Structure 1
Amino acid sequence: MFLPGFRDLVKPQWVAVIEELKLSGGLPVSELGRRLEIAYMTVKQHCQDLKDLGYLERWRVPRTQVGRPEIFYRLTPKADSLFPQAGVTLTLDLLEAIRALFGETAPDRLLFQHFQQQLEKWRPKLTKAKSLVEKATLLAGLREKEGCFGRCKYDPERGFRIEEYHHPLLPVFEKYPTAIQMELRMMEQLLGTKIVRREIPGGKGGPARVDFEVATLGVKGA
């Protein structure tokens, strides 16, 4: 099933194209148009638009009879993100099962291992940064690829910070709050500096978020 939240945000024809290609594994434009009851040139344009966005790839297959090769489209790996994944619910269930099998501290040990692996995976990607700001900006980009949603900000009063408005592990943090400090320590090791983490509640001033303030860039201590 196509991820429900996207249905209200994209063209219905794009959803139909992606779903049909998910079911079939790949189709020529002519057959895709026939199944969706959309004109050939219209469905061809939809496919081209989705290809430009990285969700489809195109290849040509020679016809068995005389004629030009037929154009086929199929989904790219990027399109997998449009379909529901086994997300945080499975993670929580697994952590609870591990607790039952190996004791109370087992989930924390596993989470610690997760952040250590993330540290080793991301550290080489930050080595080429020429400044702490650049390094922190690269880190924010890596976090966004993992499902976080945020923005880098700088002002003379507070210095440089990463403002995050969504974190896919938030339900995990709520049940296992020690993981918050594990993540923070991991980020500090990557940047080589102290980070002050502040939870900003939602309200008239804007939506709830978490600020990661890079202390060596002018941020006052907590």
Structure 2
Amino acid sequence: MAKTTTASKEGMAIRTKREIIKLLKQEGALDALQLAKLLGLTGMAVRQHLYNLQEERLVAFEEEARPMGRPAKMWRLTPEANRLFPDGHADLLVSMIESMREAFEEEGLEKMLEIRNRKQIIQYLSKAPSDLPLKEQLEALAHARTAEGYMAEVIDNVDGSYSFVEKHCPICEAAKVCSGLCSKELEMIQQVLGEDVDVERKSHMLTNSNRCVYSIKPKGSAVL
């Protein structure tokens, strides 16, 4: 019975740590009390899990000043935690890109990226057609990207624009050795949404952000 109880507690601890990692991936930096509220646990219990995750080098914190009291520890995932999420066969992709570059040089690699970009545009337009209202098209695109591991969502901004947020990049390691992948991603989103929409990348995982964020705004719209 004691062994069963111990195993049960260990299993619960593993599940809780997975939930903490998932929440930090989805929501960005959170303090222990915010996590505790989302998980239905005490702040003390969450802090213990966070310190355990810190020992595993999966989370780290930065102190954030508060109007009253001591600074809060804002916990976030470390780059090491990326291995816990889909990576799109990173090692294979990196190897293929390096082989393509060696065999066909940069010109051949660029041509490959252009072909991939065209196919992506056709694929996404079939799932997020341009005749949909912009928000519906963005939500359909987010659904398609999430199915591929990008953990995408659409946020309504107060000025009438939208933020297209991707919380994970399954091709991040490949993009580190082939920057064209990222530039093509921006180009792809622009072409899927059409010329009547302005698309601007505001945050980028390859520049130490924890997510990629694209500002989406219909051309000619007034900003509040």
Which residue of the partner structure matches residue 93 of structure 2?
91
Tell which structure's C-alpha radius of gyration is larger.
1
Match of 1:188 among 187, 190, 194: 190
Contact 1:96 1:107 in 2 (8 A): no
Q: What RMSD, in angstroms, separates the aligned Cα atoms of the two structures?
A: 3.1
Cα distance in structure 1, aligned partners of 2:159 and 2:94: 39
Q: Which structure has greater helix proportion?
A: 2
1:156-167 maps to which residues of 2 (within 5 A)? 156-157=158-159, 159-167=161-169
Which residue of the partner structure matches residue 48 of structure 2?
none
Amino acid at match of 1:105: E
1:69-84 maps to which residues of 2 (within 5 A)? none
Contact 1:137 1:152 in 2 (8 A): yes
| Unaligned segments of structure 1, at least 5 residues | 1-7, 11-83, 202-206
Measured after TM superposition, the shift of residue 85 of structure 1 is 8.5
Match of 1:113 among 102, 115, 127: 115
Match of 2:177 among 175, 195, 203: 175
The answer as to 2:141 corresponding to 1:139 is yes
Which residue of the partner structure matches residue 198 of structure 1?
202
Cα distance in structure 2, aligned partners of 1:208 and 1:219: 30
TM-score (norm 1): 0.54
- Specify whether residues 177 and 145 from structure 1 end up closer, same or farther in structure 2 by C-alpha distance, changes over 3 A only: same
Secondary structure of 2:106's counterpart equals: coil
Identity %: 20
Which residue of the partner structure matches residue 36 of structure 1?
none
Cα distance in structure 2, aligned partners of 1:199 and 1:85: 20
TM-score (norm 2): 0.53
- Specify whether residues 135 and 98 from structure 1 end up closer, same or farther in structure 2 by C-alpha distance, changes over 3 A only: same
